Structure 1
Amino acid sequence: MEYTYVRHDRDLQDLCQQLASDEYIYFDTEFISEDVYLPDLCLIQVASRSGLSVIDPKGMLDLTPFWDLITSEHVTVVAHAAREEFLFCFRATGKWPTRLFDTQVAAGLIGMEFPVSLGNLITRLMGERLPKGETRTNWRGRPLSKQQIEYALNDVIFLDSIYQQLVAEIEKLGRTEWMVAEMNRFQQAWEDYSTRPGWRSVSGIGNLNRRSLAIVRELWTWRDHHARSQNVPPRRVLRDDLVVELSKRKSSNISQIKALRGMNRRDLDPYIQDLADCVRTALELPDDQCPVNQRGNANSQYTVLGQFLTAALGSICREARIAPSLACTVQDVRDLVAYHLDGSGEVPPLAKGWRAEVIGQTIEDLLDGSLVVRIGDPRADEPLAFQRLPDPAE
């Protein structure tokens, strides 16, 4: 396997000038995230008509020329499950790749499972199997071995062929505009994830009242500052379940905080007073300064209808050759039910774009009673059948 190993700024600039004449760039990254605040970028693998390249971030000062190339208007960037690749680029430049094609998303748009791993996608489309010998390798170690580099490059050498097959199928199904819309949607979601208040991502806060949410926000802010300064994962500083439990107890009493199971760690002792101060600050906030829970509509009627309609969702999506998990979530179905019955709030995802065409209209017809679902052949791969009722006015 022939490749260029890029480890200095001047070499990266030369590579980017060479890649600038290529219409397509296929890339992937290797990173480590389990012991740091933000993922540690360790390697960038690139394939193009110019050949294969490995960019070593540990050996250079400035990756800006590469990220500027990735966000330029004339190049189509192809990657698989590109969330982290996008975030590396966005954090460095504040810009999106203009023409990003995510092969994982594209696979879901033609009816394959979502999310699908790169290895499974390569096997399905190419009949090849990726080696797994370096799955747990330490990408920070230097020098990297030939086996490590070739293992990393295997993640990009098939992307051209995969891209060509996926594009051909998407065009055959008339879904090119869908793919463009999905890339915009995913990149916007990734940007929102990167910039929104992180405390909203604490697990287990869905049923908390406003005062408890205020405590969560204060504790998260303290935890985030501490984790960033120490360059460690925030949950290693204080687990989510402990944050939620402290918010439920609403006590700034140090002895009561220390009595909570899980708070008796020796490394937490120096910070017990800080945690008590966080709780106290939140308890003293005026009511109108406490955050509101942003969970979906909890109406029990909508929940029951959502559960029923979700059961039929798989049949709808498979008939349309769309991965159900790409099309929508259970909450999306509930939001459509609420919007259809009440007509209030923002237009939900299932009432816009291709999702309205493929899924939303069918669900609305079921809610109106003009379409019914029944068991067709119970032994068939798709046992549910849809039947349109005659219009009483005709």
Structure 2
Amino acid sequence: HEVIVHAGRGELAFCYRSTGALPAQVFDVQIAAGMVGIEYPASYGNLLAKVLGVASAKRETRTDWRRRPLSARQIAYALDDIRHLAPLRAALHARLAERGRLGWFAEEMEAWRAEVVASLSEERWRRVSGNTGLDPRSLAILRELWKWRQSVAERRNCPPRRVLRDDLLVELARRQSADIGQIRALRGLERGDLKRQLPRIAAAIQRGLSAAPAELPPAVPSEPAPQLAVLGQFLFSALGTICRQQGISPGLVGTPADVRDWVLYRTGQWPRPDPPLLARGWRATLVGAVLDDLLAGRLALRVADPNADAPLRFEPVEPPAPPGPTPGAD
């Protein structure tokens, strides 16, 4: 059986947390749409309009779905929300087949499923926003604070950021103090429920402070080298041009950070054993050769028509002519 979803990462994560398994086959219409040149990420309503010419109802998007029993309007809305998934999947599948990208799509969905599992079973605390630039000791504190926040969120059945914002976790980790008075003084911890959690917050910080050197996470460089930022901006423009030429959404292919990772990899500075996103699978097939030629100076990118939908154009760079004989030489 195949499960059809739209932006279904959350649904798959729920399945994995509840059962320890994922559906064997998943078709995400949002990813399929990006692979055939429709914007990514596209809302469900936009996909229905652009692919099927159907207008979606929005009347219950802000309703309280926790209340039981559900109203007749809520049930009707929920049914309408999935009614068009099968025909939408069929139309996008046909477009993928027409472009010869069914193999790319299958590869992406398999990687997507693996990422869902990894996000729930590996170092998810690394995803806390704003943690770059923290030293290893602060990262150890952040890891313990993240574990505390997760346990509270699971007990309350609420999003973790509702317990304590990412920026406050990072600031507590940066300060490296388990003193309750100093913790209480941090702006943003005035809520009554957080005041009651101060001893547990302090205990989490102390665990990070007490971690042995061998248990400290490696630090992440805070600022890329200046030339890396310049190359990343330039090559990201090139990536967008490739995507427009090939009819695929740039947002699905990669981000500026992915391009910088690729530059590190191609210049021998990549610190990890596995290649980065743009050097793997269908993405490497799509953009690898062109980016390699640009990085090596064999290809140039210029403005062809500033009023065109695709204003940039690639042009080969002629190798320099060999030097001629020196005048007056025998």
Q: Give yes or no for TM over 0.5.
A: yes
How many Å separate the matches in 2 of 1:171 and 1:314? 23
Aligned to 2:126: 200
Task: Say which of 165, 182, 192 aligns to 1:266.
Answer: 192
Within the candidate set 22, 26, 42, 1:96 is matched to 22
Instruction: Determine if the alignment matches structure 1 residue 175 to structure 2 residue 175.
Output: no
1:385 equivalent in structure 2: 313
The alignment yields a C-alpha RMSD, in angstroms, of 2.1
In the other structure, the counterpart of 1:9 is none
Are residues 372 and 257 of structure 1, via their aligned partners in 2, closer, same or farther at CA, if it must alter by over 3 Å?
Answer: same
Match of 1:349?
277
SS in 2 for 1:97: coil
Displacement of 1:343 after TM fit?
Answer: 6.8
Q: 1:227/1:89 Cα in 2 relative to 1: closer, same or farther (>3 Å)? A: closer
1:231, distance to aligned residue in structure 2 (A): 3.0
Question: How many angstroms does 1:297 deviate by?
Answer: 8.4
Per-residue CA distance 1:317-365 (angstroms, 9 max, x = gap): 1111111010012121111111111175432221222211211211111
1:257 aligns with 2:193: no
Structure 1: which amino acid aligns with 2:63?
A: T
What is the correspondence of 1:97-246 to structure 2 with a 5 Å cutoff? 97-246=23-172
Q: Secondary structure at the match of 2:208?
A: helix
Choose from 189, 208, 215 the match for 1:289. Answer: 215
Q: Answer yes or no: is 1:336 the counterpart of 2:262.
A: yes
Distance 1:333 1:260 in 2: 37
Amino acid at match of 2:172: L
> By how many angstroms is 1:120 displaced?
0.7
Query: 2-side partners of 1:296 and 1:255: how far apart?
Result: 29
Counterpart amino acid of residue 168 in structure 2? L
Change (3 A) 1:187 1:158: same
Q: Mind listing any 5+ residue stretches in structure 1 that lack a counterpart?
A: 1-74
Q: Give the unaligned 5+ runs of structure 2.
A: 323-330
Greater relative contact order structure (CA < 8 Å, 6+ sep): 2
Q: Which has the higher strand share?
A: 1
Instruction: State the SS of the aligned residue for 2:33.
Output: helix
Letter in 1 for 2:24: T
Could you tell me how far 1:268 is from its partner in structure 2? Answer: 2.5
User: Does 272-281 or 110-119 show the bigger shift?
Assistant: 272-281
- Name the CA distance, whole Å, in 1 between partners of 2:189 and 2:3: 46
Change in 2 beyond 3 A, CA 1:141/1:337: same
Which 10-residue stretch deviates more, 157-166 or 171-180? Answer: 157-166
Separation of aligned partners in 2, 1:298 and 1:375: 27
Q: Report if the CA contact (8 A) 2:2-2:25 is conserved.
A: yes
**Structure 1 vs Structure 2: percent identity of aligned residues?**
45
Shift of residue 224, structure 1, vs aligned partner: 2.1
TM-score (norm 1): 0.76
How far apart in 1 are the matches of 2:202 and 2:222?
31
In structure 2, distance between residues paired with 1:165 and 1:224? 40
Distance 1:212 1:391, change over 3 A: same
Q: Counterpart amino acid of 2:284? A: A
C-alpha deviation, 1:153, in angstroms: 1.2
Contact 1:210 1:291 in 2 (8 A): yes
1:368 maps onto 2:314 in alignment: no
Q: Deviations over 1:83-137 (max 9, x none)?
A: 1221222223322222211111100010110011111111112211011111112
Cα 1:304–1:109 shift into 2, 3 Å: same
Three-state SS of the structure 1 residue aligned to 2:267 is: helix
Q: Write out the 4+ residue segments of structure 1 that deviate beyond 6 Å after TM superposition.
A: none
3-state DSSP of counterpart to 1:374:
strand
| Equivalent residues of 1:203, 1:240 under 8 A apart | yes
Q: How many residues align?
A: 320
SS state at 1:342 partner: coil
